[in-house]
Amino acid sequence: MMMQLFYILVFPGFLFLCLMALAIEYFDRIVYARLQNRKGPPFYQPLADFIKLAAKEEIVPECADKKIFKLMPIIAVTAAVTAFFYIPIWGYESLFPFKGDIIVVLYILTIPTVTFFLAGWSSTSLYATIGATRTLTQLFSYEVLLFLSVLAPALLADTWSMSEIAIYYSANPAMMLINIVAFFISLVAMLGKLEKVPFDIAEAETEIVGGTFTEYTGRFLALFRMAIDIEMVVGASLIAAVFLPFGLSMGPVYGFLFYILKVLFIVFLLSLGRTVFARFRIDQMVRICWKYFAPLAFIQIVIILIVKGVIL
């Protein structure tokens, strides 16, 4: 029981995720800056921003649903942390593996986005309501892509267990090449889930101030920012576990080092993506996802079913 509490609260649980999230935010911001020929922030900037926000006054709008307004940041962080417990990190098994855990991870990762919507809607601010509506609209676009892209490798491995998926592709590394389309689609979907450029329509500061989080201040806003950073770590970990299961058989130390490198590589690709593209309109985002990437995801599944039929 004590070891499980240590895993949940310290490593690789809440405390580790918070520190990892701050480090990944710095890496994302420094790569984004260097790709734009800027210097970028110092290494302590994410922590300084969090402390500054947490120390500020918390203002709750008079007409807001106060319970929902205050509860949503906590639920967002909790959901992002919980999803991490079912993803393999330095070995083939996660902290709490079971059959079908990949479905549970995908389900839990939708909860932070729902909290963003409820947070904006409950604040009753015009800007926040528009941002909340855009958040929900995006959810029905990129979430399907993420499910299709991540579940495609599971079909070939013939399992819904992340541990068994990792074992299958470690034993059959050539099969990972078949999932290359799904890998890039998952990166696009992750940009949408994190609401980063070019899919930052819900927080478009030049249009709707701060979007969903317009009315949030103090530690509430700090928790939301932390939830987004943790979600980036968890999303990158999920993509690494499904598409890049390297180094899992090398022991906990080397396996953990490989895990860090894989996460940094995926975050680098996300930073590169948001450097290359400009912000899309919400209608453009929906059209691109459903007109181009959704058919590609279905084609990927068809290819996998054909390959699976040939193998069998």
Does pTM top 0.85 for this prediction?
Answer: yes
Annotate 210-232 with three-state secondary structure. CHHHCCCCHHHHHHHHHHHHHHH
- Residue 22 in domain: no
Q: What is the total residue count of the chain?
A: 312
Given a cut of 60, whether residue 53 has pLDDT beyond it is yes
Which residues span the domain enclosing 114? 63-311
Q: For residue 209, count other CB atoms closer than 10 A to its CB.
A: 17
Is residue 142 within 8 Å of residue 192, measured between CB atoms? yes
Is residue 119 within 8 Å of residue 212, measured between CB atoms? yes
Q: Which residue has the higher pLDDT, 168 or 199?
A: 168
- Residue 285 in domain: yes
pLDDT at 11: 77
- Residue 10 in domain: no
Given a cut of 90, whether residue 135 has pLDDT beyond it is no
Please state, in angstroms and rounded to a whole number, the distance separating the CA atoms of residues 253 and 153.
Answer: 26
- Locate 104 and state its tokens: 């549970």
Q: Strand, coil or helix: what is 186?
A: helix
Place of tokens 């080092």: 257
**Average pLDDT score over residue span 135-154:** 87
Q: What is the amino acid identity at position 170?
A: S
Q: Could you tell me which residues come within 8 angstroms of residue 2 by beta carbon, excluding any fewer than 6 positions away?
A: none
Q: What is the DSSP letter of 90?
A: S
pLDDT at 312: 57
**Average pLDDT score over residue span 280-286:** 79
- Residue 149 in domain: yes
- Residue 30 in domain: no
Given a cut of 60, whether residue 291 has pLDDT beyond it is yes
Q: What is the amino acid identity at position 114?
A: V
Confidence of residue 268 (pLDDT cuts 50, 70, 90): very high
**pLDDT tens, position by position, 180-233:** 999 999 999 999 888 887 877 777 666 666 778 888 888 999 999 999 999 999
If you average pLDDT over every residue of the chain, what do you get? 87
Written as one string, the DSSP assignment of 22-78 is HHHHHHHHHHHHHHTT-----TTHHHHHHHHHHHSPP---TTS-HHHHHHHHHHHHH
pLDDT at 270: 93
Sign, CA dihedral 292-295-301-302, equals negative
Is residue 50 within 8 Å of residue 26, measured between CB atoms? no
Cα 186 to the center of its chain, rounded Å: 10
Confidence of residue 1 (pLDDT cuts 50, 70, 90): low
Cα 295 to the center of its chain, rounded Å: 22
Sign, CA dihedral 25-142-145-283, equals negative
- Residue 81 in domain: yes
Given a cut of 80, whether residue 2 has pLDDT beyond it is no
Sign, CA dihedral 78-80-83-84, equals negative
Given a cut of 70, whether residue 266 has pLDDT beyond it is yes
Confidence of residue 137 (pLDDT cuts 50, 70, 90): confident
pLDDT at 129: 85
Q: Strand, coil or helix: what is 205?
A: helix
- Residue 51 in domain: no
- Locate 257 and state its tokens: 């080092």
Work out how many domains the chain is built from and give that number. Answer: 1
- Residue 15 in domain: no
pLDDT at 61: 83
Is residue 189 within 8 Å of residue 226, measured between CB atoms? no
Given a cut of 70, whether residue 286 has pLDDT beyond it is yes
pLDDT at 115: 93
- Locate 44 and state its tokens: 């302590």
Given a cut of 90, whether residue 292 has pLDDT beyond it is no
Given a cut of 80, whether residue 245 has pLDDT beyond it is yes
Please state, in angstroms and rounded to a whole number, the distance separating the CA atoms of residues 241 and 2.
Answer: 27
pLDDT at 9: 80
**pLDDT tens, position by position, 63-110:** 888 889 899 999 999 999 999 999 988 888 888 888 889 999 999 999
Is residue 255 within 8 Å of residue 244, measured between CB atoms? no
